Amino acid sequence: MTDHKQPPSGEDSLIARYFRPLATDPGAFNLADDAALFKPSGDDIVVTTDAIVEGVHFLADDPPDTVARKALRVNLSDLAAKGATPAGFVLTIALRAVDDAWLTLFARGLGSDAGLFGCPLLGGDTVSTPGPVMISIAAFGRVPAGKMVHRSGAKPGDRVVVTGTIGDATLGLDILKGGAAAALADAGAKAMLIGRYRVPQPRNALAKAVRDHAHAAIDVSDGLAGDLAKLCRVSGVSAAIDAPSIPLSATAAALLAGGTAGIETIVSGGDDYEILCAIPEDGFEVFAHAAGHAGVSVTSIGTFIAGSPVPRFLDAQGREIALPRLSYSHF
């Protein structure tokens, strides 16, 4: 028999204080049940999950609100690449201790983004750990039946198209770790690069255009070169990339031109969270117009070609650039 006068456990108190206010969807049952109810609406449900780990995906002294936002946004980026509209998420967080100041800011950042992207908290779990802090999120999205965009489907002749800019996040991490980019004198430029590392910009505004026009898509999380190779492998094609066409911020372009950063760092560093997609040649202008209407910049950087070799990156003279490393890998 349950003693209804028994005080709530420390875990229950933690959930009630920091996360119950974020569970605004009726199917979350105010986080008072063992599971949530996710109602079908005739759409297909897209499910994705990503974890971020202290010391691997974020630094121990990163602001807690940016850690929370990154944890959610890396999952939202996956949904965007599938052409899906965010619908909700579940959260698992492993903590060394209950730090009120840290959790207050973490929950504030998480709640802000949950509202901004229309992706409410549905449930989850809190656990203790002797190791690094770990946040794992599983996010759910909706697409019209049969319309999810896969990694497979790219065809020879399709354009290789990427959103936003590439390389900023890995340069931001380099600054935080005291690398060569830390010598950058422009404080505003440094803050921009660090911000791109800490708080990705998932391209959910482009989801419908991706769904309507892309033959295949993937989000760029582990590096442009490596993620392009993954898409090509599943699609059974290769690609030729015009490296000078890869979109860079003014700061990244200056660091590349000055030799502070190499092209391998730019295309293999990871944490960009842009969308890489295959757009048919005769559909690019329409796609670009839809992207502009959504407020997202897109750039054509090459062409998918027949064959199975690893995609080639070519310099301004058409010479192949040697890339010893294609992407970040955990193992």
Write a three-state SS string for 233-298.
HHHCCEEEEEHHHCCCCHHHHHHHHCCCCCHHHHHHCCCCCEEEEEECHHHHHHHHHHHHHHCCCE
Mean pLDDT, rounded, for 256-262: 95
pLDDT digits (tens, 9 = 90+) for 124-150: 999 999 999 999 999 999 999 999 999
Q: Which pLDDT score, from 0 to 100, does residue 208 have?
A: 97
Both tokens of 239, joined, read 């690609």
- What length is written for the chain? 331
Do β-strands 274-279 and 159-163 pair in parallel, antiparallel, or remain unpaired? antiparallel
Both tokens of 214, joined, read 């892309």
CA-to-CA distance for 223 and 96, rounded, in angstroms? Answer: 31
Query: Tokens 């998420």, residue?
Result: 89
| 254 burial via Cβ count (<10 Å: 0-12, 13-18, 19+) | middle
pLDDT digits (tens, 9 = 90+) for 269-319: 999 999 999 999 999 999 999 999 999 999 999 999 999 889 999 999 999
CA-to-CA distance for 312 and 240, rounded, in angstroms? Answer: 5
* Phi then psi dihedrals of residue 319, to 5 deg: -85, 145
Which residues does 266 contact at the CB level (< 8 Å), separation at least 6? 166, 167, 170, 224, 246, 248, 252, 256
**What are the strands of the beta sheet with 85-95, ordered from one edge?**
44-53, 134-143, 85-95, 121-128
CA distances from 242 to 180, 214, 256, 331 (A): 26, 20, 16, 29
Torsion angle of the four alpha carbons 136, 142, 147, 152, in this order, in degrees rounded to the nearest 10: 0
CA-to-CA distance for 208 and 212, rounded, in angstroms? Answer: 6
| 59 burial via Cβ count (<10 Å: 0-12, 13-18, 19+) | middle
Q: How confident is the model at residue 40 (pLDDT cuts 50, 70, 90)?
A: confident
Neighbours of 9 (CB within 10 A): 9
SS3 29: helix
pLDDT digits (tens, 9 = 90+) for 169-206: 999 999 999 999 999 999 999 999 999 999 999 999 99
CA-to-CA distance for 159 and 309, rounded, in angstroms? Answer: 17
Mean pLDDT, rounded, for 27-42: 87
Q: Which pLDDT score, from 0 to 100, does residue 295 have?
A: 96
Q: How confident is the model at residue 10 (pLDDT cuts 50, 70, 90)?
A: confident
pLDDT digits (tens, 9 = 90+) for 99-119: 999 999 999 999 999 999 999
What is this structure's pTM? 0.92
* Position 5 pLDDT exceeds 60: no
261 within 8 A of 180, measured Cβ to Cβ: yes
Q: Which pLDDT score, from 0 to 100, does residue 300 have?
A: 98
Give the E-state strand segments of the chain in sequence order: 44-53, 85-95, 121-128, 134-143, 159-163, 216-220, 238-242, 274-279, 298-305, 312-314
Q: How confident is the model at residue 229 (pLDDT cuts 50, 70, 90)?
A: very high
Neighbours of 308 (CB within 10 A): 9
Q: Which pLDDT score, from 0 to 100, does residue 130 have?
A: 95
8-state DSSP, 308: -
* Position 222 pLDDT exceeds 70: yes
CA-to-CA distance for 217 and 277, rounded, in angstroms? Answer: 4
* Position 1 pLDDT exceeds 80: no
CA-to-CA distance for 321 and 272, rounded, in angstroms? Answer: 21
* Position 120 pLDDT exceeds 80: yes
Q: Which pLDDT score, from 0 to 100, does residue 283 have?
A: 97
Mean of pLDDT over the chain: 93
